[in-house]
Chains A and B, each alone.
Chain A
Amino acid sequence: MRNWEQLLIREGFADGLLEACDTYSRVLVCDADLAASTLTRRVAERFPDRFIDFGIAEQGMLATAAGLALTGWRPFVTSYAMFVAGRAWEIARQQLSYGECGVVVVGAHCGVTVGKDGPTHQCCEDLALMRILPNMTVVVPADYYQMRKVVMDAAGRSIPYYFRMGREAFPVVTSPDDEWQLGRADVLEEGEDLSLVACGQMVSVALDAADTLRERGIRARVVNMHTIKPLDVETLEICAQTGPILTVEEHMAAGGLGSVVAEWNVGRRQPVPMSIIGVEDRYMESGSPTEMLEKAGLTPERVSEQAELLLRG
């Protein structure tokens, strides 16, 4: 295991928002009584006239933000992923996807690493819910630095946009100087035996797994597939020409990154062998983030084992 520097991705969100508010006069930030947790409170403190708290009313907040977008604002609508992408999904469908209102939806506390709050708050369905919507852009920033760039990217566009972030401090896998481009995956390591395609907090897990595999003589390419939609099929094509693909995500194994890649894969003339690592068809439980990752099988050990199985055919 590498000795990773760890940073809160939420800090990257807050720092990105402050920069976005400085750069773009049309950026507004909306929260639903979670400003202290999502860290949008920093915006409220520095740009009080750019922050709106809607109270505990995620559906009303998202629909109201659609109206704000219709008058030229660029609202970032933030709450826990379970509520802003889950509970308010139908508003995202009608007003953002169908109505093409340019709102940025930010799902905080995603995945199983919310930990002790338990399954009610462990949102592992948001990528599936959002990426199924036409006109939606869906991004999973991998770390603090990437989050800052994603926030600035979203602030500069006028399209409906979703991105997610976890609660815990997690390894930093990119650097401040790395270029980030929507829809262009980062190849973090080259390898000629198979490709590990991961997103979000699972990128560091994939990198750790690649280290283990290298010790066993297996060279794995590691791809940070930060954009779920639009999908970077060019990079995937390079992966497919190499060999099998193993996807890793902190999300249901159904419907998210793995499904997106699988849907692309079956459309190829000769699909490559692939496997999907995610939360299997079940709910987790309360417990520490590390325990939840272990119980869900989202660990470097599981990834390297699965990679070897995949290579054996």
Chain B
Amino acid sequence: MNDVTYPKLLEIATRIRQHVILMVYHARSGHPGGPFSAADYNTVLWWKYLRMQPENPDWSQRDRWVLSNGHCSALYYALLAEKGVIPMSVLPTFRSSGSPLQGHPNRLKVPGVEASTGSLGQGVPVAHGIAMGARRRGWGDVRVFCNVGDGELQEGIVWEAIMAAGHFKSDNLFLLVDCNDAQIDGKVSDVMGIEPLAEKFRSFGWWVWDADGHDFMRIDHLFREAFHAPPGKPRALIFHTQMMYPIKPFMNDPAWHGKPPSKEETVLILQAMGEDRDPDELIELYRKED
């Protein structure tokens, strides 16, 4: 699993983005921006390092991945479908009545979803609790990864958890910070600045690294460093990303945080990623897949 090539990872990340945009397009509702910024580094993690058994999502020794910014649920569902944990055929039901794919992930409805999130900030302490609980159970190999948005770091509860994780030396906790510098009301730096972020983490007793979140080689290197850092500290991985990457006309526009694309925009996004088929035709193909 560890030897997945970067071109192969790019292929997977592209498919993840296609699933995301088609889900949000078809539902006429949802959040494409965050999933696009977080797709690359999470693809590296999920396909190179995350220990899981897709056929047995409740395996106790699995690594956990918690989506603290639960509005990026389309990313979660795309990752799970691409891994074979949930069927592709369920993706077109995203955000519709009767679907397990709620607007924000519900752990009781979707196999592989570790925590019910969506109320920003809570995923971080929940992930820390899982990390503490696994350690106390003697599950020494279990690592807990928590994806968190940069705007989300404005929530106070996040810092309660960051303080606690540093205090308890929870070195099996990995925070993946998606720094796309965009939130609903504008740029994070304009709305409520969070910098200097790395210094903040360090002062709370964390190891911290940062990298371009769209450079597979740098991402991969960063994960390896994080896995091999000395024990005794939780780990923060800061990824500098761009909302709606790599769709140039739409990048860096905070409006894409929670905007469903029109059909024309969907076609443009798909074409930019090398997919020329009609979006509605692609939705029909999902329905036929297992």
Residue positions of A touching B, CB distance < 8 A: 28, 52, 54-55, 57, 59-61, 63-73, 90-91, 94-95, 98-100
Is A100's CB under 8 angstroms from B108's CB? yes
Q: Find residues 209-233 in chain B having any chain A CB closer than 8 Å to their own CB.
A: none
Asked if B193 CB lies within 8 Å of chain A CBs, one says no
A94 touches B116 (CB 8 A): yes
Q: Which residues 96-114 of B have a CB within 8 angstroms of A?
A: 106-108, 114
Q: Does B129 lie within 8 Å of A64, measured CB to CB?
A: yes
Given contacts A73-B133, A94-B116, contact A67 B160 (CB under 8 A): no
Residues of B contacting A54 in the complex (Cβ-Cβ under 8 angstroms): 160, 164
**B160 contacts which chain A residues (CB < 8 A)?**
54, 57, 59-61
Identify the B interface with A (CB < 8 A).
106-108, 114-119, 122, 124-134, 136-137, 139, 156-157, 160-161, 163-164, 167
Asked if B164 contacts A63 (CB within 8 A), the reply is: no
From A60, A61, A67, A73, give the contact of B115 (CB < 8 A). Answer: A67
* A63 CB contact (under 8 Å) in B106, B134, B161: B161
In the complex, what residue of chain B is closest to A60 when comparing beta carbons? B160
CA distance A50 to B119 in the complex (A): 29
Q: Which residue of A lies closest to B144 (CB)?
A: A67
**Across the interface, which residues of A come within 8 angstroms of B118, CB to CB?**
94
Smallest CB-CB A-B distances: 5 pairs: A67-B129, A71-B133, A60-B160, A63-B125, A99-B116
Task: Report the minimum CB–CB distance from A60 to chain B (whole Å).
Answer: 3
Contact of B122 among A70, A73, A94 (CB under 8 A): A94
**Residues on B with beta carbons closer than 8 Å to the beta carbon of A60:** 125, 157, 160-161, 163-164
Please give the distance in Å from B129's CB to the nearest CB on chain A: 2
Chain A contacts of B136 at CB under 8 A? 28, 68, 71, 73
Contact residues in B for A94 (Cβ distance below 8 Å) = 116-119, 122
Complex-state Cα separation, A95 to B122, whole angstroms: 9
B247 to chain A, nearest CB (A): 32
Known contacts A59-B157, A72-B133, A100-B108: A67-B119 contact under CB 8 Å: no
Task: Report if A63-B157 is in contact (Cβ < 8 Å); known contacts: A57-B163, A95-B116, A99-B116.
Answer: yes
* Bound Cα distance from A91 to B160, whole angstroms: 13
Q: Which residue of B lies closest to A73 (CB)?
A: B133
Partner of A55, one of B122, B124, B129, B164: B164
Are B115 and A95 in touch, CB under 8 angstroms?
yes
Interfacial chain A residues near B131, Cβ < 8 Å: 67
Name 7 interchain pairs, CB-CB below 8 A, sorted by A. A64-B132, A64-B161, A71-B136, A71-B139, A91-B119, A94-B122, A95-B115
B164 near A70 with CB under 8 A, answer no
Q: What CA separation (Å) do A54 and B156 show in the bound complex?
A: 15
- Cα-based distance from A68 to B128 in the complex (angstroms): 8
What would 14 more interface pairs be, CB under 8 Å, given A59-B157, A91-B157?
Answer: A54-B164, A60-B157, A60-B163, A63-B125, A63-B126, A64-B128, A64-B132, A67-B128, A67-B129, A91-B119, A95-B115, A95-B116, A99-B106, A99-B116
CB-CB nearest in chain B for A70: B130
Contacts of A91 in B (CB 8 A): 119, 122, 157
Distance of A97 Cα from B136 Cα, bound (Å): 25
A232 to B38, CA, bound (A): 50
Q: Contact: A67 with B116, CB < 8 Å?
A: no
Chain B residues with Cβ below 8 Å from A71 are 129-130, 133-134, 136-137, 139
Name, among A55, A63, A90, the residue most crowded by chain B CB atoms within 10 Å (CB to CB).
Answer: A63
- Closest A residue by C-beta to B122: A63
Chain B residues in 8 Å Cβ range of A90: 119
**Contact call B126/A70, Cβ cutoff below 8 A:** yes
Q: Is the CB of B164 within 8 A of A67?
A: no
Docked-complex contact A67 and B157, CB < 8 angstroms: no
- B137: chain A residues at CB < 8 Å are 71-73
Across the interface, do A66 and B126 meet the contact criterion of CB distance under 8 Å?
A: yes
Q: In whole angstroms, how far apart are the Cα atoms of A179 and B250 in the complex?
A: 66
Docked Cα-Cα span, A57 to B125, in Å, equals: 11
Q: Which of the listed residues B128, B129, B137 has the most CB atoms from chain A within 10 Å of its own CB?
A: B129
Instruction: Determine the distance from Cα of A91 to Cα of B118 in the docked complex, in whole angstroms.
Output: 11
Q: Does the CB pair B116–A98 fall under 8 Å?
A: yes
Q: Is the CB of B119 within 8 A of A64?
A: no
CA distance A65 to B130 in the complex (A): 9
The answer on a CB contact under 8 Å between A67 and B163 is: no
Expressed in whole angstroms, the Cα–Cα distance for A95 and B107 within the complex equals: 10
B27 CB to nearest A CB, Å: 21
A67, B127: Cβ atoms closer than 8 Å: yes
Contact partners of B157 in chain A: CB under 8 A: 59-60, 63, 91
- Taking the closest CB of chain B, its distance from the CB of A24, in whole angstroms, is 14
Cα distance A95–B167 in the bound complex, in angstroms: 23
Query: Is the pair B163, A99 in contact by a Cβ cutoff of 8 Å?
Result: no
Complex partner residue of B132 from A55, A67, A72, A98, CB under 8 angstroms: A67
Query: Cβ of B129 and Cβ of A68 under 8 Å apart?
Result: yes
Q: Is the CB of B130 within 8 A of A67?
A: yes
Of the candidates A52, A65, A70, A90, the one having the most CB atoms from chain B within 10 angstroms of its own CB is A70
Distance, CA A60 to CA B160, complexed state (A): 6
Nearest CB in chain B: distance from A78 CB, A:
16
- CB contacts (< 8 Å) of A67 on chain B: these are 115, 125-133
> Closest residue of chain B to A97, judged by CB?
B116
